[in-house]
Amino acid sequence: MPSSVFDSDIYKNLFGEAEMRRVFSDENQIQMQLDVEAALARVQARLGIIPQDAADEISAKAKFENLDFEKFKKGVERVYYPILPLVEGLVAACDGALGEYSHWGATTQDIMDSALSLQLRDALTLIDNELTAISAILVRLAKEYRDTPLAGRSHLQQALPVTFGFKAAVWLSGIERHRTRLAEFRSRATQAQFSGAAGTLASLGANGLAVQDALADELGLERPEITWHTMRDNVAETTNFLGLVTGTLAKIGTDVLLMMQTEVGEVFEPFAPGRGASSTMPQKRNPVSSELLIIAAKAARQNVAMMLDGMIQDHERASGPWHVEWLALPQTFILTAGALNQARDMLDGLVVDADRMRANLDITNGMIVSEAVMMGLAPYMGRQVAHDVVYDVCRDAMAQNRPLKDLLREMPEITKHITPDQIDELCDPANYVGQAGDMVDRMLATVAATKR
pLDDT in tens, the chain (452 residues): 677 888 777 777 778 889 999 999 999 999 999 999 999 999 999 999 999 999 999 999 999 999 999 999 999 999 989 999 999 999 999 998 999 999 999 999 999 999 999 999 999 999 999 999 999 999 999 999 999 999 999 999 999 999 999 999 999 999 999 999 999 999 999 999 999 999 999 999 999 999 999 999 999 999 999 999 999 999 999 999 999 999 999 999 999 999 999 999 999 988 877 666 566 766 667 888 999 999 999 999 999 999 999 989 889 888 888 889 999 999 999 999 999 999 999 999 999 999 999 999 999 888 888 888 888 888 888 889 888 888 888 898 888 988 888 888 888 888 888 888 888 888 888 998 999 999 999 999 999 998 76
DSSP assigned state of 447: H
CA 262 to chain centre: 29
From residue 19, give the alpha-carbon distance in Å to each of 2, 29, 34, 119, 452: 19, 13, 20, 12, 22
Distance CA 57, CA 98 (A): 7
* Contact assessment for residue 127 and residue 332, using Cβ atoms and an 8 Å cutoff: no
The answer to whether residue 155 is catalytic is yes
Q: Coil, helix or strand for 267?
A: strand
Residues for the chain: how many in total? 452
Instruction: Report pLDDT for 276.
Output: 65
From residue 31, give the alpha-carbon distance in Å to each of 39, 42, 325, 371: 12, 16, 19, 63
Q: Where in the chain is the domain with CATH 1.20.200.10?
A: 12-358
Instruction: Report pLDDT for 271.
Output: 80
Instruction: Report pLDDT for 278.
Output: 62
Match domain 367-426 to its CATH number in 3.40.50.720, 3.40.50.150, 3.30.450.40, 1.10.40.30.
1.10.40.30
Catalytic residue among 4, 278, 319, 323: 278
Q: Mind giving me the DSSP string for 130-170?
A: HHHHHHHHHHHHHHHTTT-EEEEEETTEEEEEEEHHHHHHH
At position 170, the amino acid (one-letter code) is V
Q: Where in the chain is the domain with CATH 1.10.40.30?
A: 367-426
* Contact assessment for residue 94 and residue 61, using Cβ atoms and an 8 Å cutoff: yes
Instruction: Report pLDDT for 277.
Output: 55
Catalytic residue among 4, 103, 135, 155: 155
Please choose, from the candidates 269, 271, 244, the residue with its C-alpha nearest in 3D space to the C-alpha of residue 255. Answer: 269
Please choose, from the candidates 330, 344, 345, the residue with its C-alpha nearest in 3D space to the C-alpha of residue 6. Answer: 330
Cβ-Cβ contacts under 8 Å for 310 (sequence gap 6 or more): 232, 236, 321, 322, 323, 324, 325, 328
CATH H-level, domain 12-358: superfamily: Fumarase/aspartase (Central domain) (1.20.200.10)
From residue 366, give the alpha-carbon distance in Å to each of 95, 194, 258, 389: 84, 68, 22, 15
Instruction: Report pLDDT for 317.
Output: 87
Phi-psi region of 103 (alpha: psi -120 to 50; beta: other; left: phi over 0): left
Instruction: Report pLDDT for 283.
Output: 67
Please choose, from the candidates 438, 448, 439, 437, the residue with its C-alpha nearest in 3D space to the C-alpha of residue 176. Answer: 448
Distance CA 118, CA 218 (A): 12
Q: Coil, helix or strand for 320?
A: coil
Distance CA 48, CA 51 (A): 7
At 333, give phi and psi (nearest 5°). Answer: -65, -45
The answer to whether residue 417 is catalytic is no
* Contact assessment for residue 330 and residue 299, using Cβ atoms and an 8 Å cutoff: no
Instruction: Report pLDDT for 287.
Output: 83
At position 445, the amino acid (one-letter code) is A
Q: Which helix (H) or strand (E) holds 266?
A: none
Please choose, from the candidates 414, 416, 417, 376, the residue with its C-alpha nearest in 3D space to the C-alpha of residue 393. Answer: 414
